[in-house]
A and B are shown apart, each in its own frame.
Chain A
Amino acid sequence: MVEPLLGHRQLVATCEPDARLVTVRQRRAGPAGSAGLDLGAGVELDVDVADPTSVAGLTVELATTGDAGKLPAAVRRRLDVLLGPERAAALAGLVRAAADRDTVVEQALPSTGAPAGSEGGVAPALQRAALAHRAACEPGAPRLVRAVALLDAAAALGEVWHRLDLRAAARHDAGIGADLLLGLLADDEVTLPGPRAAAALVPVLRQAARLLDGQPLAASRLKTLARDIERGRHPVAVASRRSPVPVAAGPRKKGLVDLGALPGALAEAGVEAVTAGHSHVEVRVPGWSDRRHGLWAQAVDTVERTIVAMAPLGAGGAGGASGAEGADAVAVLLVPPLSIPHLAVDVTDRPGTPRPSPALAAVTRAVHLGAVAARAARLGDRAAAERRWRQCARAWQAAGDGTRADQALAHAARGQLPGADQPGAVTALVSDLFTPGGPTMA
């Protein structure tokens, strides 16, 4: 019998016919939040970042028109593979019943014949793909991390694509990851952060190259890079980093910056904004030149409550050569002179969306700290993980969520991730080894 990709643990299904929504979960996401994975046909999987063997949510969005009680064939095929035919059938029955009664229905989907000694949680390939997607898309992630994470995700998806029809998604990730990595290589910007990272990258490059059958040149260059790394022909950093996961600098308010609106990692980055002349504001993120891509500085007139200026972060001077690791990211905003006395400035990766309230920013920050703690734990750095989980607990407490604060403290005390001793639990992602301040170089 083929194992269902989400294992055999007990799950709870909720059907909401008014929202055309079906949700299945083992438990809600903990203090590090969840990592999502689009499985196509309106089906998304979320794994708990701190325990990716657990299903934090399997969501099916049904079309807003048509029969709310019928799962489309493409959805049903995916559910069969994810849950197993028996539980998928039970879920289909539940969806039908909820639609007929036009009410929300919640019901357990009992665990099914697990192999002896294991309840088999989320398949490792799905865990890895979801976590790698999160690493690739994190605002402020360096391009090398994004590239490696996308290639890692592609390689992971390549292990299950035949079962879930994920060929296009795997190729998408491989293609963008290759474009990014090869672009950095062309600019001579790639020094691998250490032998462990280099060794871990080689199989990922080869797996990704196999997915790029429509892009023979890119595939060939990935394979060449893999060979060069193996033969010691590619530069690898030798200096050992003293602090595997850096201590948070802590939020710092500088000038006009609206600290409460900064997303996760940026809240720790010491964003500065100062007026210059009668209609300019300079926004500076120290040391973020390599992490600036996709980020925008924006200024809001707090009286009119409208956005008045926006500009992309560019490579600035100071701290190192322009564009190099360690240099600052800088944006210059041209603002209405009359707005200057009541400007609030922030940095975002999502232009056009409403600025978060302090409550939402606090939650985002807590999730970010949890994700950093989980990464430290995956890397086996217990001291850093414990420190970060304690910071995460304080952040959740500040956000008014005592439950997740307690969970974070429990992780801190345990010293390892809750699912780490489970068979099939994912260890460090390849991109974890490339994240600034990431691994020891041994």
Chain B
Amino acid sequence: MTISDCPSAAAQAERFLRSDVGRAIVHRTLDANSLSQNLQEDLVQDALARVCSAAARGEVIDNVEAFAIVVLRRAAIDIVRGRVRSPQLVDWAEIVDPDAEGQGWPFDAASPLDVEADALGRRSLADLRAALRPLLALDPAAGAAALAYLAITVDGAAPAPPCPQPDGGATAGERAEWAALHYSGQSRCFPRDDRPGHGGAGSPAAVRKRRSRAAGRMRDLLARAATAAGLEPQGALHG
């Protein structure tokens, strides 16, 4: 199962969890943990997000209904734990060294998709952002950049100083990418970082390479979200 299957996996899980049998299981799960039945919708939404994230990570889900019950239970225990994650689920790389490059999205190829051109209608844009949401858990920095990129290229948000800008001759897309990476906190993608404790970003070539990879991760994330949202890749919706 891949991210393109995410909507179908989530839809199947949702149909099950909202069926009579599913509702009874939701009720039982909350009851088993002495939690209020007011939390039914939170629990279902959390479980669906976990199904989607698992699909996006490429986890094999043989039986969506059984998996939905498993993640439902995990979501309930998570509440009893005060929504404090286990060490296995914490992104320690981000905490140990906030300036390190994340592991990132596992696909590094550039996307041919011209997402901003495809996202013509408000509904499509909303669908695209909704499809991005489960992907944020996989690569938060790339996801944050993707959201900023959409805000600039589709909604007309205007970056402001101290947002770095490429030298003259850069395309609008490149300028938007720079801004998107800046607003997603990826300061080491730029030539200078004078903030205390950040120690500079390295040689110009290293910075360029880092920026290129980060932009690639952002584009891949957007492309995958567009596919999941049912937007046609390869710019087929243009015109």
Residues in chain B near residue A321, CB distance under 8 A: 196
- How far does the alpha carbon of A33 sit from the alpha carbon of B154 in the complex, in Å? 44
Binary contact readout B1-39 vs A (1 if CB under 8 angstroms, 0 otherwise): 000000000000000000000000100100011111011
Interface size on A, residues (CB 8 A): 91
Please, what's the 1-or-0 string for A316-353, where 1 marks a CB less than 8 Å from any CB in chain B?
A: 00000111000000011111111100000000011111
Question: Residue-by-residue, is B181-225 near A (CB-CB < 8 Å gives 1, otherwise 0)?
Answer: 001110000000001110000000000000000000000000000
Which A-chain residue is minimally distant from B152 (CB atoms)?
A: A334
When each residue 373-390 of chain A gets 1 if its CB lies under 8 Å from chain B and 0 otherwise, what string results? 000000000000000000
CB-defined contacts of B150 to chain A, threshold 8 Å = 308, 336
Please state if B179 and A359 are interface contacts (CB–CB under 8 Å): no
Cβ 8 A contact of A311, one of B42, B82, B84, B185: B185
Q: Counting CB contacts under 8 A, is B159 at the interface?
A: yes
Tell me whether B77 and A401 are in contact (CB under 8 A): no
Question: Could you tell me the distance between the alpha carbons of A359 and B41 in the complex, rounded to whole angstroms?
Answer: 10
Q: Is the Cβ of A23 less than 8 Å from the Cβ of B32?
A: yes
Query: Interface readout for B79-100 with A: 1 if CB under 8 Å, 0 if not?
Result: 1111111111011101111100
A38-B86, A137-B86, A146-B95 known; A338+B134 contact, CB < 8 A: no
Residues of B close to A352: CB separation below 8 A? 49, 53, 133-138, 140, 143
User: What residues of chain B lie closer than 8 Å to A335, measured between beta carbons?
Assistant: 151, 157
Contact A359 B82 (CB under 8 A): no
Residues of chain A with a CB closer than 8 A to B135's CB:
352
Candidates B35, B94, B130, B179; contact of A294 at CB < 8 Å: B94
Is B90 touching A137 in the complex (CB atoms < 8 A)?
Answer: yes
For B, the interface residue count at a CB cutoff of 8 angstroms equals 75
The CA of A44 and the CA of B81, in the complex, are separated in Å by 13
Query: Is A308 touching B140 in the complex (CB atoms < 8 A)?
Result: no
* Chain B residues within an 8 Å CB radius of A194: none
Q: Is residue A241 contacting chain B, with contact meaning CB distance below 8 A?
A: no
Contact B63 A65 (CB under 8 A): yes
**Top-9 shortest CB links A-B:** A336-B155, A352-B136, A352-B137, A367-B82, A279-B157, A64-B66, A306-B129, A312-B185, A351-B136
Residue ranges of B at the interface with A (Cβ–Cβ < 8 Å) = 25, 28, 32-36, 38-39, 41-42, 45-46, 49, 53, 62-63, 66-67, 69-70, 73, 77, 79-88, 90-92, 94-98, 122, 126, 129-130, 132-138, 140-141, 143-144, 147-148, 150-152, 154-160, 179, 183-185, 195-197
